Amino acid sequence: QSVLTQPPSVSAAPGQKVTISCSGGISNIGNNHVHWFQQLPGTAPKLLIRDTSKRPSGIPDRFSGSKSGTSATLVITGLRTGDEADYYCAAWDNSLSSGVFGGGTKLTVL
Amino acid sequence: EVQLVQSGAEVKKPGESLKISCKGSGYSFTNFWIGWVRQMPGKGLEWMGIIYPSDSDTRYSPSFQGQVSISVDKSISTAYLQWTSLKASDIGMYYCTRGRDQVEFDYWGQGTLITVSS
């Protein structure tokens, strides 16, 4: 059972928009930045969104992040088949004094 | 170019010890955290712990505290993850990562696959 809760899977058609939620609590998302990672099949994860809403260099603006209270959201627009991957949120947890990941969300582009 | 190069796959027996490595290059090794992340087969990412090479400040997830040890040799820009007695449940892919902070992991190693079987 992950400290951060994500839907196990989401799906949408090419060109459409998808949102992936990440629900936590006061000790993690509520008081700390959220980071998002993309893991393509068979590869190491990659940083997709840092500090809740910032895109690292090279990440297209189709990917965006936001936060409200104790929940964070990753939005992907203009979906491509190459976006099929597992997506993870992560944050520092002040109560655990540890980082925590969400359980991951598998994106299928139909 | 920033690179994290991990040691190769390991096949071990329960009860054996193991130390895997992660060598950083292309950046100032002592100025960034090194994190370790586990991924069991078909499962998600788990934050294990981190170390700051400059002063060896180390933090562990409660789930991994006492189960593994994280260390660093900054003279050779290398971090380590160590077990004294492996269990069958330690199987998985282990990634080292470079951290701008304790969770913002901007570069990842290629992973080290650990198999534990009698």
The answer to whether residue A1 sits within a structural domain is no
The answer to whether residue A4 sits within a structural domain is no
The domain locations on chain B are 3-112
CB proximity B27 to A under 8 Å = no
pLDDT of residue A22: 98
pLDDT of residue A59: 97
Specify the number of domains making up chain A.
1
Cβ atoms B67, B79 nearer than 8 A: no
Answer yes or no: do A101 and B47 touch at CB < 8 A: yes
Residue B37, pLDDT > 90, answer: yes
The encoded tokens of residue B78 equal: 């290398």
The answer to whether residue A43 sits within a structural domain is yes
Chain length of chain B: 118
CA distance B98 to chain A (A): 11
- The closest alpha carbon to A76, from A3, A4, A8, A10, belongs to A10
pLDDT band at B16 (very low <50, low <70, confident <90, very high): very high
Cα dihedral sign, A20-A61-A90-A26: negative
pLDDT of residue A1: 79
Number of Cα atoms under 13 Å in the Cβ half of residue B64 = 25
Residues in Cβ contact with B43 at an 8 Å cutoff, skipping those fewer than 6 apart: B92
| B45 → closest Cβ in A45, A92, A96 | A45
CB proximity B67 to A under 8 Å = no
The answer to whether residue A29 sits within a structural domain is yes
Q: How far is residue A76's CA from residue A16's CA, in Å, rounded to a whole number? A: 8
pLDDT band at B33 (very low <50, low <70, confident <90, very high): very high
Q: How far is residue B71's CA from residue B105's CA, in Å, rounded to a whole number? A: 18
Average pLDDT of the segment spanning B28-49: 97
Please, what are the averages of pLDDT over each run of 10 residues along chain A (110 residues)? Answer: 94 97 97 98 97 97 97 98 97 97 97
Q: How far is residue B112's CA from residue B9's CA, in Å, rounded to a whole number? A: 5
Average pLDDT of the segment spanning B62-79: 97
Average pLDDT of the segment spanning B37-51: 97
CB proximity B111 to A under 8 Å = yes
CA distance B62 to chain A (A): 7
The answer to whether residue A37 sits within a structural domain is yes
∠ CA A88-B91-A92 to the nearest 5 degrees? 35
The CATH number of the domain holding residue A64 is 2.60.40.10
Answer yes or no: do B111 and A44 touch at CB < 8 A: yes
Domain range for A59: 9-109
pLDDT tens per residue, range B74-86: 999 999 999 999 9
∠ CA A72-A11-A15 to the nearest 5 degrees? 95
CATH architecture for segment(s) B3-112: Sandwich (2.60)
Q: How far is residue B36's CA from residue B9's CA, in Å, rounded to a whole number? A: 16
pLDDT of residue A94: 97
pLDDT of residue B78: 98
Q: Chain A residue with minimal CA distance to B61?
A: A98
Q: How many CB pairs under 8 A join A and B?
A: 65
